[in-house]
Amino acid sequence: MTGRLKVYYIPWKPFLMQNTLPTFYGTLPIMRTILIREKISLVHGHQAFSTLCHEALMHARTMGYKVVFTDHSLYGFADVGSIHMNKVLQFTLADVSQAICVSHTSKENTVLRSGLPPEKVFVIPNAVDTAMFTPAPEKLSHNEIVIIVISRLVYRKGADLLVEVIPEICRLFSNVRFIVGGDGPKRVRLEEMREKNSLQDRVEMLGAVPHARVRSVLISGHIFLNSSLTEAFCIAILEAASCGLLTVSTRVGGVPEVLPDDMIVLAEPDPSDMVRAIRKAISILPKIDPQVMHLRMKKLYNWHDVAKRTEIVYDRALGCSNQNLVDRLSRYLPCGGWAGKLFCLVMIIDFLLWRLLQLWQPTEDIEEVPDFSLPNSECPEFKEDGSLSLR
């Protein structure tokens, strides 16, 4: 793929919402083959709910590779599901070289859930492709104010707040229109709200919007409304700001850290406070210039910068000392009275299986991929403003 990126497809069948069943040691042979074949030096796993990620990191550590983990979401502590997931996370992060979180609030949450020392966790936020999300060429008129909502219509993303807020705003401001993009289980409630309040001409429901069309939906509006109940880092807000929209969002999770105070209006996740925030946004809307906002976003967020910072983390991780099995086991024991011993057992079995695999399928038999370089005419290059160009 572009830029010498390779994708391997592991043929496990997903059983629920693109998740595969955890198989503990099932992925060991194929992981070992891929890591040796490609001469990998470091394994970077993402997302705490991915079973493939946890297994891959476990096998990589057994085989002696350095490991980096990125956590992308916030999670609670109190219910049964959370307690289990946090224990699994504690297992994976007990022996990780470095960790990355996408916001400072996410760092606090991950440190509390996994018991990692805070110095091991780096905060590298996501960025946005500003070249793709450019504002509309001509500024929209302010006779009619359009508020855009694009999100999955689920409980977690605050669809119920939308059901309370939209009729109230339509009642208070006669020149405000809503465009709601996205689909989900709560779409029925929004349609019902629309019918009950006769807002068919003021609320437009677009259904699921493919990613390529998001920009065209965004540039048709003035304000972007985000009502999520929990958010580690909200890329949707960045895309909206890059298109020159003023954002109104709930003050949850990492959202207050994402944009400067003059580009976002924050509200508590409560319908009356959100109405107040939208009122304030409408009043400051004349002062907003989409082009100026877009240029600011180009300087604030840059994938090139994210890559550079991630490379620093990789260098740090590669500089960590190698440890043999016994030293590593001592890191698992403090995880808990029963859990520590169980984790040690899991790692010992993994180690034994790996040795068995080495005997059965020796390293020399695995063919390594030769280094190749593309001819110069096809080499892609990053320009200073973060956009990608093919020479």
Binding site for other proteins (CB under 8 A): 74, 76-78, 102-106, 108-109, 111-112, 118-125, 156, 158, 160-161, 164, 189, 229-230, 233, 250, 252-254, 257-260, 269-271, 299-302, 305, 309, 312-313
Q: How far apart are CA 198 and CA 93, in angstroms?
A: 52
CB of 246 to other proteins, least distance (A): 16
Closest by CA position to 48, among listed 18, 15, 79, 72: 72
CB of 59 to other proteins, least distance (A): 26
Q: Pick between residue 92 and residue 109 the one whose CB is nearest to other proteins.
A: 109
Q: Pick between residue 164 and residue 191 the one whose CB is nearest to other proteins.
A: 164
CB of 228 to other proteins, least distance (A): 8
Which residue reads 């965004």 in tokens?
218
CB of 199 to other proteins, least distance (A): 18
**H and E: helices and strands count for the chain:** 14, 14
Q: Pick between residue 30 and residue 111 the one whose CB is nearest to other proteins.
A: 111
CB of 150 to other proteins, least distance (A): 20
Q: Pick between residue 260 and residue 375 the one whose CB is nearest to other proteins.
A: 260
Q: Pick between residue 52 and residue 234 the one whose CB is nearest to other proteins.
A: 234
Strand-pair partners of 246: 223
CB of 178 to other proteins, least distance (A): 20
CB of 346 to other proteins, least distance (A): 26
Helix (H) or strand (E) holding 16: strand 14-16
Q: Pick between residue 20 and residue 230 the one whose CB is nearest to other proteins.
A: 230
Q: Pick between residue 27 and residue 103 the one whose CB is nearest to other proteins.
A: 103
Q: Pick between residue 55 and residue 160 the one whose CB is nearest to other proteins.
A: 160
Q: What Rg value do the Cα atoms of the chain yield, rounded?
A: 24
Q: How far apart are CA 72 and CA 64, in angstroms?
A: 25
CB of 83 to other proteins, least distance (A): 12
Report whether 103 contacts 123 (CB < 8 A). Answer: yes
Opening angle at CA 45, ends 303 and 32, nearest 5: 130
CB of 17 to other proteins, least distance (A): 19
Q: How far apart are CA 236 and CA 251, in angstroms?
A: 15
Phi and psi at 180, nearest 5°, equal: -115, 115
- Name every residue whose Cβ is closer than 8 Å to that of residue 242 and which is 6 or more positions away in sequence: 128, 130, 133, 134, 135, 293, 294, 297, 298, 301
Question: Which residue type, as a one-letter code, is found at position 296?
Answer: R
- Name every residue whose Cβ is closer than 8 Å to that of residue 154 and which is 6 or more positions away in sequence: 184, 185, 186
Q: Pick between residue 99 and residue 176 the one whose CB is nearest to other proteins.
A: 99
The angle, 0 to 180 degrees and rounded to 10, between the axes of the packed helices 80-93 and 104-114 is: 90
